[in-house]
A and B are shown apart, each in its own frame.
Chain A
Amino acid sequence: MVKVLRATPERRWSKRALLLVLTVITAFGSLAVSADERDQAKRIHDRIAGVPPDTATLNLMANAITTDPVNGAFNAALIATDDPAFYNVTLKNFVAPWTNRDQAVFVPLNDYTATVIGMVRDDVDFRNVLYGDILYTVSGVNPAYSISSNAHYEAAETQGADLKARLVGTTPQSALTGVPSSATAGVLTSRAASKAFFIDGTNRAMFRFTMMNHMCRDMEQVHDTSRVPDRIRQDVSRSPGGDARVFLNGCIGCHSGMDPLAQAFAYYNFQYDKATDPTADAGFLKYNNSGDIDAITGTRVVRKYFNNNTTFPYGYITMNDHWDNYWRHGPNEVLGWSSSLPGSGDGAKSMGMELANSDAFAECQVEKVFKNVCLRPPQDAADRAQISSMVSAFQSDNYNLRNVFAASAVYCMGQ
């Protein structure tokens, strides 16, 4: 505690504030003492909603814990999820880093964030986050949703709109964006994700950040040089800096699995005018429907898949959006791929299903919630057992993420 309160020369506290905080912190000697139901109720509410409960809610939750030793705490946690701050504060900041490359939390509300919040509120099977034809808007906010602007969500945020009350997800994403329903892939085809990860580049960013945000693995964690490298595109140098060892020991480990999966995004591009709109604020997701033939590729494949195609001319040439999951075998078999899916398909929706039905996806969501609620990652065998238990419950409970928040809060509510 002393460490926490230490004032550095350049950052001095006011004497008054320091004195008061010292006094209050000193009082936390009682933290080591077992908390009673009111303490547990407060912590559950703090962790779920990010704000303390008012007196009435605290009493209600404490009473629930007292009267039902088995389910009372979980029910109390569900009460906490009724607080609007759970949606406007906790979930918004839980999701915000997933929506941009810098993983910054200080970003405006957007359709990606709003959709996840809405799905949690409505207890939607959370796997749909990667393949559903789903998108949430905010009722009563002008301007309306636009595929070429985020103004709708920024206006809602400026107004302090109660997202719990005003999010609406009844209109399918396809009806809002014009992307065919078969080409929607949950938040992957949201405008915010498109602007962040389909912009410029080669569309591999969408795959990488999806892995990071929804499988809790960056490329280093799935690195496997033993996969067949036949789908690595022409733009990947096989001899970076004139040294093939770099490729054979490094690049190939990610690209051999990533490129055949990221082929699912071959028809997508975030389109904007670099000259007049360099920050792409007016950009939009363009999907090449059948009949939309790119002049460079001669197919529906967007031209970025042919970037730098002379770097290694004998590499793979993308002709369609057929994807294959080479990671179903080898070291990444441990990601727990669904045996009920074929491991290959066409387009982002089926690829999203492949990821969302893996054990790694469920584990990732649970671990993220655990860390958000318990303010620490799983750190010992008891934590891991709890994670395992919650993953099983998540998978058998229609992938209800709100319940994961509640279960995590109960685990970390103190004794």
Chain B
Amino acid sequence: MKIMNKLSSARGLALAAFAASTLIVSGCGSGSGASTVANPVTTPPTVSNYTGPAPQTADVQRFKINVWDNLVPNNRCGTCHNPSQTPRFVRSDDINLAYDAANSVVNLADPANSRMVLKVRGGHNCWLTSDDACGDIIQSYIEAWAGGALGGTGKAIQFTAPPLHDPGSSKNFPADVSATLFKTAVYDPYLHQYCVGCHKEDAAVPQSPFFASDDIDVAYAAAQKKMDLDNPANSRFVLRLGEEFHNCWAENPPTVNCAQDAALMQAGITAMANAIPATVVDPNLVTSKALKLTDGIVASSGGRQEANVIALYEFKTGTGNTAFDTSGVEPAANLTLSGTYSWVGGWGIDFTNGKAQASTTASKKLHDLIGSTGEYSIEAWVAPANVTQDGPARIISFAGSSASRNFMLGQTLYQYDFLNRTSETDQNGEPRLSTLDDDEDLQATLQHVVATYDPANGRRIYVNGKFTDDVDTVPGGLLTEWDNTFAFALASEVDNTNRWAGTARLVAIHNRALTADQIKQNFDVGVGEKYYLLFNVSDHVGKPDAYVVFEVSQFDSYSYLFRAPFFLMLDSAATPGDIPIAGIRIGVNGREASVGQAFAHVNTAISDAAYTPTGQQELSSLGTVVALEKGPTLDEFFLTFEVLGSASHVVVEASPAPPPAPLDVPRDPDYGIRDFAEINQTMSNMTGVATTQAQVKATYDAVYQALPVSTGIEGFLSSQQMGITQLAISYCSALVEDTSKRALFFPGFDFNAGVSTAFNSGAKQNQIIDPLMAKMVGANISTQPDDAATRAEVASLITLLAGCSGAQCSTNGVVKGACASVLGSAAMLVQ
């Protein structure tokens, strides 16, 4: 057995005594049938006035404050374990005797494994609708007690040998639902028949997962996690009916028969499973033994700084419409879920258009407890669904309306917004503190965000353990303006406006401003339940109890996180010798995962020198995500190795097939048009006017973006012709106005002649047309415009223009027009 130290949990004093109302609870049960849902208890327990002998030690005193005071009321454990039933750990006659009794049912080194916690978690008289929530609350009491008793020396992780299983053949769900009997064997006869009232997106009160959806693909995806193909009797669908009597139906009216319904469901899943061939593990692989997530050793989730937590939501329930406040601080501000939401694997709730809200009565504790300190922290692990929502979209709000609040943590695109009502702000907590837009601190991924407030430092926002450096310009004020009738809510304003889309995996409210170190500590601990999976490799390394160990957690509803593998031998006296190890891959349900094999390049050697005194050798510091297939209780994992000890399996990747030839398509026209720059240079070449000539350049700069950019002739636009015309006129104008250039270009033409005489013969007109044709159209080129037709057209234009009169009528103008008509034509443009 190996022991690995971890930081101890530091859950602090339970602040249970601030309220005084009472409630007698008549029914605490462990049944989970839908027809026996009990209203959650939201009022605090009765607190006894202890009058017996004084605590003999400081530890007894800590026990009294943290455990006894919380459990002695008669709506907790006091009804039975005070006067008569052993162990009498809440007896009120002598706190020291109660302390002795409690020690027989708690494990201060590992509070989660305390008999008291396990008993309640197993369904023993829980006062809430979730046994786990009751277990968590009692665990928090014991951790608070242990935090002192352990003196902060840390909690131990004990590595023990897991059960040994060879990776088995496993049946896997085909990707295409049509390849299965799901529809005919399970969906049509049962799910879509009897579960459609709730487990459907558009049900009156939609309950995820939506395995009764009208969309068969949606239903198939949701149902996979509820069916065990390898052992249909272990399917959640079957157990839910047969053992938990969840909404059974009357197959043969009028009798409701859960056993019969379970048998039918099992038969349907069995029929479906029988039609799916098993995936057989490749015998050539070098494999470890196999494990399921539940075979793992729970890694400590302790180490969180929760000394002053007054509301805590870990979203462990996984079903129903209540998110429990497991802070242990009464009254529990449990949240009622409404709208569109779904529970997330690995703890959490995904809000798409939903809300989680506490009653105003229970929310009042936040007002009271924060009011007593004048400072607080909002801590959350959230994954915003996108970076486009604003409003701000309310992630966490303690408000009366969308314009009146005590505090709010919100999202505006890439920014976190923190509104806090003080004597220095308005009733809405404005002006807000927002993270800098350019920093894009908010990302659509799982983030740890903490907003703290205290009068000295004002508001501060920390993301993923780091202060965002955004300084609060509003001076610190008092919280005396807070309203004790407001309600605490997640993912929405209390008036159902400004919804926030995203996943919340943990929310905690502290009535102290957490320090930077404490925030970093909580970020480092992470979120969700983590396991150590010990993959036995003794067969290959020749050492007993030798393991490659991964820390594994469910990362979200669709994946697992595997990280930081190390080699371990349970025998603390053993040494590994030299063991080469390379190419570690993760296997899931009989085959290597096709995506996410981040450890495939591991290539190292386990050696005595590298093996640490604590009995480990790190193999990689990386982590990777692997797709979830059947669900955390069904997926079976194993490891494969390219090299492990003397065993090896050479992975040879086949060369890909050459890509098929693209399909032939009709050819585009093999002629096109010149682009903007080509037009400019062509006009320059044709006229002899430089592109840098001032007038020309000014025109080009004005019109170049209107000229063609693409050379495809089919994209030619009339607006482009307008640009071409302007540029052509500019070039021709520059040519005609330059006496030496025009003399060279139009030899023999008399520019000084009047309009009426300059063009009054065919010969004179040809003095203009001939050079234009020679330099702009070319001779003896069959793809250019027809020579005679073009000449006739230009001559016609000259005749037309020469018939002008008035001040604007000039010989130069007619020549410019004739020049531009050719220069701006397709003779220049088309190539």
Contacts and interface: CB of A to CB of B under 8 A. Distances in A.
A367 B466 CA distance: 49
B58 interface: no
Contacts of B785: 23-24, 27-28
B558 interface: yes
Contacts of A158: 692
Contacts of B711: 375
A8 B718 contact: yes
Interface stretch (B210-218, B281-289, B304-312, B591-599): B591-599
Interface stretch (B96-104, B188-196, B533-541, B621-629): B621-629
A229 B624 contact: yes
Nearest to B671: A31
B558 A245 contact: yes
A253 to B, nearest CB: 9
A13 B466 CA distance: 63
B677 A21 contact: no
Contacts of B561: 238, 314
B518 interface: no
A329 B653 contact: yes
Nearest to B800: A16
A315 interface: yes
A239 B446 contact: yes
Interface in A317-346: 329-331, 333-334
A232 B623 CA distance: 10
Interface string B646-673: 0000000101101101101111111110
Nearest to B712: A375
A17 B790 contact: no
Contacts of B183: none
A21 B722 CA distance: 12
Interface in A1-32: 3-4, 6-8, 11-14, 16-17, 19-21, 23-28, 30-31
B349 to A, nearest CB: 10
Contacts of A252: 595-596
Contacts of A308: 443
A349 interface: no
B301 to A, nearest CB: 17
A311 B464 contact: yes
Given A27-B786, A35-B783, A330-B653, A11 B718 contact: yes
Contacts of A384: 661-662
Interface stretch (A49-57, A143-151, A207-215): A49-57
B783 A21 contact: no
A228 B722 contact: no
Contacts of A93: 675, 677
B409 to A, nearest CB: 17
A237 interface: yes
B824 A248 contact: no
Nearest to B653: A329
A239 B561 CA distance: 10
Contacts of A247: 559, 625
B218 to A, nearest CB: 14
A241 interface: yes
A11 B720 CA distance: 9
Interface stretch (B324-332, B380-388, B452-460, B566-574): B380-388
B725 A17 contact: yes
B464 A239 contact: no
A36 interface: yes
Contact of B668 (A28, A42, A376): A376
B373 interface: no
Interface residues of A, number: 90
B690 interface: yes
A76 interface: no
Contact of A243 (B464, B556, B781): B556
Interface in A26-78: 26-28, 30-31, 33, 35-36, 38-39, 42-43, 46-47, 50-52, 54-55, 58
Contact of A28 (B556, B598, B826): B826
B465 interface: yes
Contacts of A243: 556-558
Interface string B373-400: 0000000000111100000000000000
A374 interface: yes
Nearest to A274: B438
A241 B722 contact: no
Contacts of A178: none
A33 B445 CA distance: 63
Interface string B536-559: 000000000000000000011111
Interface string B687-722: 000111000000000001100010111101111011
Given A3-B714, A315-B622, A17 B824 contact: yes
Contact of A88 (B597, B669, B681, B827): B681
B782 A92 contact: no
Nearest to B692: A160
Interface string A369-386: 000001110011101100
Contacts of A375: 668-672, 711-712, 831
Interface of B: 344, 348, 350, 383-386, 443-447, 463-466, 502-503, 523, 555-559, 561, 563-564, 594-601, 620-625, 627, 653, 655-656, 658-659, 661-662, 664-672, 674-675, 677-678, 681-682, 685-686, 690-692, 704-705, 709, 711-714, 716-719, 721-722, 725, 774, 778-786, 789-790, 793, 797, 821-822, 824-827, 830-831
25 contacts: A20-B821, A25-B826, A26-B789, A27-B785, A38-B780, A39-B781, A42-B783, A93-B675, A105-B675, A226-B595, A228-B598, A229-B595, A229-B597, A230-B624, A232-B598, A237-B443, A237-B445, A245-B559, A314-B564, A314-B621, A329-B653, A379-B665, A380-B664, A380-B665, A414-B670
Given A239-B559, A249-B595, 12 more contacts: A52-B778, A85-B678, A90-B678, A225-B594, A238-B625, A245-B558, A248-B558, A252-B596, A310-B466, A334-B656, A376-B667, A414-B783
